[in-house]
């Protein structure tokens, strides 16, 4: 068995107003794996990712990234992760290249490493000469590709991608999915992503966890889930799960 | 890391056209243009008055006295290049001004000459037309009444010469008084009083402008992060949250400094534009007695420290309060009241007299945040540093509290999840529907 990179045990997150976003959630993500958290809006996917990314604090439970607790060792966890939020933006007054150089500076140990990261990011983004233009002039798809390139260029121990193809058209979504899959395979990066797009998850993930109302209903390999629930796609699996829990 | 973040802050803020034009170029341009316009308008008015006077003002003198002094008045006015019409009977004055276009009507009542000859003041009634409510019109009215005033002085000198054989100038000023004010054991001329007064009003303007800009830029800085959705990524970078907050403060201070320099340069040109016109030339003689010279190096250092601390406090409060907003606009509105917090105590502190006020009041005013620049200045002027030190200690304490609150805010999760009460209820999705 590979090393565990993400360890979540009995995680609970209650927002002010007694809103339970995550309800006794437990799962593990292994090294080099692409793990997908899937579920409808409000299922608790983003909250879970934000806790793992050290942005939110758990109400209860334990979350460990590569041996470090996300609350007690938040600074150490941040050195291991690279996070792409669902509605992320970039500094619109910087050029794409300046943005990448700025971000690479926080991870690279020297100038050479920084240049290497930026070069890699420019390649991943596929922005070509537009990388020298201000981000304010980019389309939504270009911005998302830039942000994904920023997330992956640092070759993190764990990449956390919240709805990586959010708001993208089919062409750009396919491009982004290919980047994620190829990069993860090539560099052995562990990826934890969230999505409500079943096709995307089936295509990308080694394992998926289905979330609903903050609870994890089931987790397994996508093909195994289809077989177990005798379903043709993951949407059908989800429907059956929800009705059986009703 | 800090340097990298500060450079990014400055680059991002300066490339924002709203900040670049609104806070740096606009004050410079507006003040320069205002100065040029007001200066040109004043110069134009002065030239118009001069031109009108050079062609001779059209005056009507209703001479009911017909005595030697009324004759003298007529001769004096004619010598002053005025076009004078003598009328012997009392006529409707407004008709003379409105219909006959006289710029002024002077009524010399019966007994005018007799009164003066007998050592009793004579009376003159002067009616000057105000063509409009304008600088030109009021200046012209003043110039015309000025001719009458100089006639009065002329008569006075004649009487003095005839009665005493003394110099009229001597009689008017038999004693030359040389007065001094003593401030903190040093002597200054009385003329310094008006200079002190002017500077006391001008000096707080500098910190006020810087403080206002600092609070506003700090709020913008955090508001932009939220509006552009860059904050989440920033907070997951492998850097301390304290460094992020410090970088924002440093960036803010640099931009606030640039904005303030721009404003002060603009303000300088504005004042120069207004006061360079001829009418104000002599009145605006710059006094050599500067408060900054009086307070010396140590006082100046304390003043600079107080400005730095208050600007830091304003930036920190701006960043803290701005973080409650969801975007630039709401962040800006959160800091709007800082102006009032600055303005009122700062000007209230001008009226406090440390020697005449009770100790409790003086210390109380010194403890109010944002009064520090003025308190240290006044403290250094009177040579009693107690209030300056109290003010510095108070500001530093409040700043430390503000920094603590801000760092807590940056370290906590509330920076992202916003106001708890306003969160939407969890969405109840229809069963079996995935999208």
Question: Which domains does chain A possess?
Answer: 4-89+157-245 (3.40.50.300)
Which of B15, B224, B236, B419 to probe the A interface (max A CBs under 10 A)? B236
The nearest CA of chain A is from the CA of B312 a distance in Å of 25
| Residue B399, pLDDT score | 92
Q: What are phi and psi of A94, to 5 degrees?
A: -95, 160
| Residue B285, pLDDT score | 39
Q: Do A40 and B230 touch (CB under 8 A)?
A: no
pLDDT, tens digit, for every residue of A158-180? 999 999 888 788 888 888 888 89
**DSSP state for residue A230 in the 8-state scheme:** T
pLDDT of A2 > 60? The answer is yes
| Residue B274, pLDDT score | 62
| Residue A246, pLDDT score | 62
The nearest CA of chain A is from the CA of B430 a distance in Å of 10
pLDDT of A99 > 60? The answer is yes
pLDDT, tens digit, for every residue of A122-155? 988 889 999 999 999 999 889 999 999 999 999 9
Contacts of B113 (CB under 8 A, 6+ apart): B65, B67, B68, B69, B70, B122
Contacts of B95 (CB under 8 A, 6+ apart): none
Q: What angle do CA B223, B267, B7 make, to 5 degrees?
A: 35
**DSSP state for residue B58 in the 8-state scheme:** E
| Residue A79, pLDDT score | 93
The nearest CA of chain A is from the CA of B417 a distance in Å of 9
Chain A contact set for B426 (CB, 8 A): 19-21, 42
Q: What are phi and psi of A165, to 5 degrees?
A: -105, 20
Q: What are phi and psi of A95, to 5 degrees?
A: -80, 165
Residue A214 CA to residue A39 CA, distance in Å, equals 9
Burial class (CB in 10 A: 0-12, 13-18, 19+), B98: exposed
Q: What sign does the dihedral B290-B296-B299-B303 (CA atoms) show?
A: positive
pLDDT higher for B289 or A40? A40
Instruction: Give how far Cα B185 sits from Cα of B182, B359, B383, Å.
Output: 6, 21, 9
In the three-class reduction of DSSP (H, G, I as helix; E, B as strand; rest coil), residue A168 is classed as coil
Could you list the pLDDT tens digit for every one of the 435 residues in chain B?
Answer: 788 888 888 887 788 777 777 777 877 888 788 878 877 887 888 888 888 877 788 899 999 999 999 999 999 998 888 889 999 888 888 888 888 788 899 999 999 999 999 889 999 999 998 878 877 888 888 888 888 999 999 999 888 888 888 888 888 888 988 888 887 777 777 777 777 776 666 667 767 777 888 888 888 888 888 888 899 999 999 988 888 888 888 888 888 788 777 877 777 777 776 666 544 444 443 344 566 667 778 888 888 888 888 888 988 999 898 888 888 888 888 887 777 777 777 777 778 888 888 889 889 989 988 888 888 888 888 888 889 999 999 999 999 999 999 888 888 888 887 654 444 444 444 444 433
Interface of B with A (CB under 8 A): 1, 4, 8, 11-12, 15-16, 228-230, 232-233, 235-240, 412-413, 416-417, 420-421, 423, 425-427, 429, 431-435
In the three-class reduction of DSSP (H, G, I as helix; E, B as strand; rest coil), residue B4 is classed as helix
Q: Quick check: pTM over 0.90?
A: no
pLDDT, tens digit, for every residue of A180-231? 998 888 888 999 999 888 888 888 899 999 998 899 989 999 889 889 888 8
Closest Cβ opposite residue B434 in set A53, A88, A196: A196
Binned at pLDDT 50, 70 and 90, residue A67 comes out as very high
Residue A79 CA to residue A100 CA, distance in Å, equals 17
Give the residue among A206, A165, A99, A8 at the shortest CA–CA distance from B237.
A99
Burial class (CB in 10 A: 0-12, 13-18, 19+), B356: exposed
Q: What is the ipTM of this complex?
A: 0.91
Q: Do A56 and B413 touch (CB under 8 A)?
A: yes
Which of B14, B233, B234 to probe the A interface (max A CBs under 10 A)? B233
pLDDT of A118 > 60? The answer is yes
A189, A155 Cβ separation under 8 angstroms: yes
Chain B contact set for A88 (CB, 8 A): 229-230, 232-233
| Residue A193, pLDDT score | 94
Question: Which domains does chain B possess?
Answer: 57-171 (3.40.1710.10), 186-418 (no CATH)
Q: What sign does the dihedral B408-B410-B413-B414 (CA atoms) show?
A: positive
In the three-class reduction of DSSP (H, G, I as helix; E, B as strand; rest coil), residue B98 is classed as helix
pLDDT higher for A107 or B204? A107
């Amino acid at each position: 068995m590979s090393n565990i990179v993400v360890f979540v045990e009995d995680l609970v997150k209650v927002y002010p107003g007694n809103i339970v976003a995550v309800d006794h959630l437990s799962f593990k993500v292994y090294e080099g794996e692409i793990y997908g958290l899937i579920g409808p809006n409000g299922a608790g996917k983003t909250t879970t990712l934000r806790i793992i990314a050290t942005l939110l604090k758990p109400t209860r439970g334990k979350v460990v990234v590569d041996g470090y607790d996300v609350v007690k060792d938040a600074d150490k966890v941040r050195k291991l992760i690279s996070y792409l939020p669902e509605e992320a933006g970039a500094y619109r007054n910087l050029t794409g290249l300046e943005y990448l150089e700025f971000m690479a500076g926080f991870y690279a140990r020297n100038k050479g490493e920084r240049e290497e990261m930026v070069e890699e990011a420019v390649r991943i983004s596929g922005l070509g000469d537009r990388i020298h233009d201000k981000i304010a002039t980019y389309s939504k798809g270009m911005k998302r590709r830039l942000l994904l390139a920023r997330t992956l260029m640092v070759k993190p121990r764990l990449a956390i991608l919240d709805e990586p193809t959010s708001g993208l058209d089919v062409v750009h979504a396919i491009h982004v999915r290919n980047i994620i899959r190829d990069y993860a395979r090539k560099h052995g990066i562990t990826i934890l992503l969230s999505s409500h797009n079943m096709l995307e998850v089936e295509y990308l993930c080694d394992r998926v966890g289905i979330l609903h109302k903050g609870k994890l209903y089931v987790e397994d390999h996508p093909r195994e889930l289809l077989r177990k629930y005798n379903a043709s796609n993951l949407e059908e699996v989800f429907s059956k799960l929800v009705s059986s829990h009703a | 890391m800090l340097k990298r973040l500060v450079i990014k802050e400055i680059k991002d803020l300066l490339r924002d056209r709203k900040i670049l034009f609104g806070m740096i170029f606009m004050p410079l341009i507006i003040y320069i243009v205002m100065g040029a316009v007001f200066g040109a308008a004043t110069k134009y008015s002065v030239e118009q008055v001069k031109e009108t006077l050079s062609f001779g003002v059209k005056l009507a003198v209703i001479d009911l006295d017909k005595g030697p002094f009324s004759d003298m008045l007529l001769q004096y006015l004619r010598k002053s290049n005025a076009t004078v019409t003598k009328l012997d009977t009392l006529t409707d004055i407004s008709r003379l001004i409105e219909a006959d276009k006289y710029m002024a009507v002077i009524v010399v009542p019966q007994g005018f000459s007799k009164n003066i000859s007998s050592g009793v003041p004579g009376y003159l009634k002067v009616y000057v037309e105000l063509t409009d409510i304008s600088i030109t019109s009021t200046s012209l009215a003043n110039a015309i009444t000025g001719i009458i005033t100089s006639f009065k002085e002329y008569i006075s000198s004649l009487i003095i010469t005839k009665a005493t054989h003394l110099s009229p100038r001597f009689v008017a000023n038999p004693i030359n008084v040389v007065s001094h004010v003593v401030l903190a054991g040093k002597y200054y001329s009385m003329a310094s009083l008006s200079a002190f007064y002017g500077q006391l009003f001008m000096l707080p303007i500098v910190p006020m402008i810087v403080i206002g800009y600092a609070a506003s830029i700090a709020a913008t800085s955090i508001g932009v992060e939220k509006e552009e959705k860059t904050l989440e990524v920033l907070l997951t970078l492998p850097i301390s949250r304290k460094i992020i907050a410090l970088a924002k403060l440093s960036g803010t201070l640099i931009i606030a400094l640039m904005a303030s320099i721009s404003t002060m340069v603009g303000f300088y040109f504005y004042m120069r534009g207004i006061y360079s016109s001829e009418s104000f030339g002599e009145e605006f003689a710059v006094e050599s007695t500067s408060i900054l010279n009086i307070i010396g190096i140590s006082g100046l250092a304390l003043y600079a420290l107080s400005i730095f601390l208050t600007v830091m406090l304003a930036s920190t409060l701006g960043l803290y309060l701005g973080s409650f907003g969801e975007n630039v606009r709401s962040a800006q509105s959160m800091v709007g009241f800082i102006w009032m917090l600055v303005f009122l105590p700062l000007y209230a502190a001008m009226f406090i007299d440390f020697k005449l006020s009770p100790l409790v009041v003086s210390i109380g005013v010194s403890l109010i945040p944002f009064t520090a620049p003025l308190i240290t200045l006044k403290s250094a002027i009177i040579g009693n540093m107690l209030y300056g030190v109290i003010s510095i200690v108070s500001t530093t304490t409040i700043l430390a509290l503000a920094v603590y609150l801000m760092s807590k805010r940056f370290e906590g999760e509330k920076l992202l999840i916003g106001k708890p009460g306003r969160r939407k209820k969890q969405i109840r999705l229809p069963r079996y529907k995935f999208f």
